[in-house]
Structures are given as C-alpha cells and as structure tokens.
Amino acid sequence: MVPEALSALKAAEVILGYKTYLDLIGDLLEDKEVVSSGMHKEVSRCQAAIDHALAGRRTALVSSGDAGIYGMAGLVFDICRERNLEVAGIDEATPQNVDFRIEVIPGVAAFNAGASLVGAPLMHDFAAVSLSDHLTPWDLIEKRLTAAASADFVLAIYNPRSKSRPDLLERARQALLRFLSPATPVAVIRKAMRRGQWLHITTLEGIPVEEVDMQSVVIVGNSRTYVWKGWMVTPRGYLDKYALDRESE
C-alpha cells in the first residue's frame, strides 16, 4: 500500500468499500465507521461516500489496485457531475466555495503487480481490456481485443472469467487467435501479491482456462514477447538500435 493511501485511511472517519477488499485491510479499520457492501452495489456505495463527504466527514472509498483503473474514482466523478456538485482537489490554492474536496490516490494496478511477478511483459506498448460484459457489450469488447491484437499490442486482460461468464475467456482467446500465433506467450496471475498468489506462464493456445477467475489478470504478449528461464519479457528494442558493450560485463 502506498504511504498516501495509508495516511488517508488513518485520517478517515468513515471508510467504505467492497467487503472483500475491506477484509484485506481489516487491521487498519479499528475505531473507524466502516460501510461494506457486495457486488453490484457500486452506485449506492459511491453515493453514500459522497453523502458522508457532503456532511463534512473525512471519507475514504476503497478500491483494489488503482482506484482510477476499473475502480471507483470515475463513478464518484460521474455522480458528482450528475448531482451538479462543486468539487475540487486538495490543493490549498483552490477556491473555498466547494462542496468538498477529492483526492484520488494512485495504487498498484493488477497488471503492474502481475507483470512484476513474471518478468517484464509490459515493456512496450500495451492495452488493458476487461472481459466483463456487465457494463460493456461483448461486441465492443471483442472489437477492442481484435483491434489491439491486430496492432500488435501486449494485452492485459481483466475480469477474464467468472461463474456467471465462464465462456468469455475462451471466446476472447478465439478472437485473438485470428491475429496472434497460438505460441504467443501468456502469463496468468491470480491474487497478485496477496495470500494465495498463483502464476503460470504458458501460451495463448495453452491457457489453463479452468484456473482463471475474477481475481486473475491474463497478460498476452505481442509478436516479439519471449520467455527466457521462466521470465516473460517484451523487448523495447534497445538492442536493435544499440550495440551491447561486452567490455562492461
């Protein structure tokens, strides 16, 4: 956890979040008012956080990874816009006639954490795509997948497979195979940097679909990604342009 996030939690009077995520930081919630909720309660959760802030309470809304990457930060701004609220950053120079102030604290996204565990697969251009069709139609998801694959982007795939959507990862794989080799390196990282962490480096053809769940991120390499001694690497191209200085070894 980044120091700013830890400081925000310590300073908060009320902390809100998805129950699973709050359980991960239970030791930081003592002496706090805690409001937890389940899946599909994102709108009410953010509305409650905004209401607490409007009441003058120091409020923390917890997301996993980075709040601005598939997290709650965007929804908070959406709701503030719909309610025509005046919100500002925490800069002291900001005018005072605001309803409340917002600080979006960056975190470590799942693709960052996962990539660090398997090597350096995101060293060149990459795209992140969520397979969740709860808010985005599958046709658009598939369009984004194939566009990224056809442009030779590395792909970080979020929300790859759930009990209610067990087939979407396989459908995504079939879409990618129209542009990528079956031997394209792939890393599957589940619960990155958490208890129960599991990772596996394989190929696009060999993805262990049954091992993948909503707490997994799937990193699909591009045409230059390689696996070396158990590490997955996408070269940036330095050695194509610059000679390796053997004398420095």
Predicted local confidence at residue 40, as pLDDT: 87
Q: Which 8-state DSSP code applies to residue 82? A: H
pTM exceeds 0.85 for this model: yes
Q: What is the pLDDT of residue 91?
A: 78
Beta bridge partners of 232: 119, 227
Amino acid at 60: A
Local structure of residue 229 (DSSP, 8 states)? T
Strand stretches in 39-139, DSSP E: 59-62, 87-88, 100-101, 119-120, 126-130
pLDDT tens, the chain, 249 aa long? 778 999 999 999 999 999 999 999 999 999 999 999 988 899 999 999 999 999 999 999 999 999 999 999 999 999 999 999 999 998 767 677 899 999 999 999 999 999 999 999 999 999 999 999 999 999 999 999 999 999 999 999 999 999 888 999 999 999 999 999 999 999 999 999 999 999 999 999 999 999 999 999 999 999 999 999 999 999 999 999 998 876 655
Task: Give me the domains of the chain, ranges plus CATH numbers.
Answer: 3-101 (3.40.1010.10), 110-233 (3.30.950.10)
